A and B are shown apart, each in its own frame.
Chain A
């Protein structure tokens, strides 16, 4: 319901406002803000009144960001459990397929956006480590005579087991990152992992930095998808790959499962509204072809998509050439 959410939102914005006033030393900042450091994006008066969708609800663009934040804040702890329940565990297969399509080699720099709880990041680390170990085994078999120093170094584990690979997990939501960090700690992932708080529409990274950019089940929550795609294009190195795993349009609309998902959310997680938002936002997301065109508009080439599980999800892929 809009009413209780906006009350929380008012206090959230109020807190931000007082913090901003205290921190910025420029009294005239408010009036000069539209021409700030990000000169490229002007905030005109008309833009503020633009509407977008939050599920089936119509909200202003500023509202959407805050509302989505609250949804993921409340589902963060049960996110993985709910994913398993709703997709009957198949979401793991989808994510494995994404990694197989990516086929990263040791030394890849991956940026995983909206990757809060770390599913893609952990799979990437496993994959790259397996590849690296495979490569080393082949090397050993090829050159049977290693020097004593090389053998000693291997035993001392001085070598990087990932071969220089790195994954940066970026998410706008602190709670999701917290859950992800805890998972990494529990599973013993230490090397090659970095956690960054950031907005997909304005990534805190320099241009031409990453080999692969992934966003799994995150892009439909972004307020301006085109901006997120442009940012993806910016931070990728030339030759870099964009991969997106997202729910898509099915031929027969899954009416019954859309009824069941909020019920599951209520019974398992005590949260109807967030899962209602989930099913509605899936309905609102553009079709495979339309999304492919949006990716091409952002400057990517050789854009393809692959529908999985009869169209429930699709993996879109594009290259920055």
Chain B
């Protein structure tokens, strides 16, 4: 009781950190505090730890599919090479290069919900908002990147995560397991991230035979075809396209309507 009161009456004071040696000399564990971090939330890890994290998160994600944080960790620890390819490809595209420079973030604080609500029906922004409402999801549930050791690549994977909901809107897929698998196949073809490929291949393990049949015969070929045809979806500056009608955007990307309506409403 006394200690609590004492702590309350004398508020915390920030201690100026003592000068630290160069990041290379300090063992990575000590670097996890203070000056050695490349971005907030960064956790430096050794190759052994990354390998263990990749294996452990893959296993845990299969065991408990509700652990979305495990899928995120799997993506971060396995994607180093692919993220570089994606980043270089973004740099070559004018709109992508702009995204890399300006680093827009999608969260409830950066989205102007009132403005999106006022857009005409059928516009991309309005449809995105409708998707969020109907599926009861929020753009703030994406975990921040932690295990990527390059801050530009960390942004690329963060952008990929935040853009995921836009893909749902573009493809017209709901957030149930079937819809998620279809979007994963699309993403796997588009980004070639190992996590997407693994998710696309192992996700259907938990489906019923009927859904599996529909998935394999109709939805996957459609997703793969659209994934191949469309330009990289990470290159789109979605924040500037809210007013664009969804249909026009789909035509621009070459995304056709889904072969059948997936239960659960997009």
Contacts and interface: CB of A to CB of B under 8 A. Distances in A.
A16 B1 CA distance: 11
B48 interface: yes
A206 to B, nearest CB: 15
A48 B10 contact: yes
A199 interface: yes
Given A1-B37, A58-B18, A270 B67 contact: yes
Contacts of B33: 1-2, 55-57
Contacts of A38: 2
Contact of A63 (B9, B12, B42): B12
A65 interface: yes
Interface in A1-47: 1-4, 6, 9-10, 13-14, 16-17, 19-20, 29-30, 33, 36-38, 43
Contact of A13 (B7, B15, B42): B7
B57 A20 contact: no
Contacts of A70: none
B9 A17 contact: yes
The interface centre, meaning the residue of B7, B17, B40 with most chain A CB atoms within 10 A of its CB, is B7
B6 interface: yes
Contacts of B43: 272-273, 276
Interface size range on A against B: 35 or more
A65 B1 CA distance: 13
B184 interface: no
Contacts of A65: 3, 7
Contacts, number: 111
A60 B15 contact: yes
Interface residues of B, number: 41
A57 B53 contact: no
Interface stretch (A149-157, A179-187, A241-249, A255-263): A255-263
A124 B59 CA distance: 38
Contacts of B2: 36-38, 199, 202
B52 interface: yes
A43 B7 CA distance: 11
Contact of B40 (A3, A201, A258): A3
A30 B9 contact: yes
A204 interface: yes
A75 B73 CA distance: 19
A1 B53 contact: no
Contacts of B73: 266-267
A64 to B, nearest CB: 11
Counting chain B CB atoms within 10 Å of each CB, the highest count among A13, A37, A202 belongs to A13
14 contacts: A2-B33, A2-B34, A4-B40, A6-B12, A13-B11, A16-B4, A17-B11, A20-B5, A29-B9, A58-B15, A59-B15, A62-B12, A264-B56, A267-B73
Interface of A: 1-4, 6, 9-10, 13-14, 16-17, 19-20, 29-30, 33, 36-38, 43, 48-49, 51, 55-60, 62-63, 65-66, 199, 201-202, 204, 256, 258-260, 262-264, 266-268, 270, 272-273, 276, 279-280
Interface of B: 1-15, 17-18, 29-30, 32-34, 37, 40-43, 46, 48-49, 52-53, 56-57, 59-60, 67, 69-70, 73, 146
Given A17-B9, A276-B43, 4 more contacts: A49-B15, A259-B52, A263-B53, A276-B29
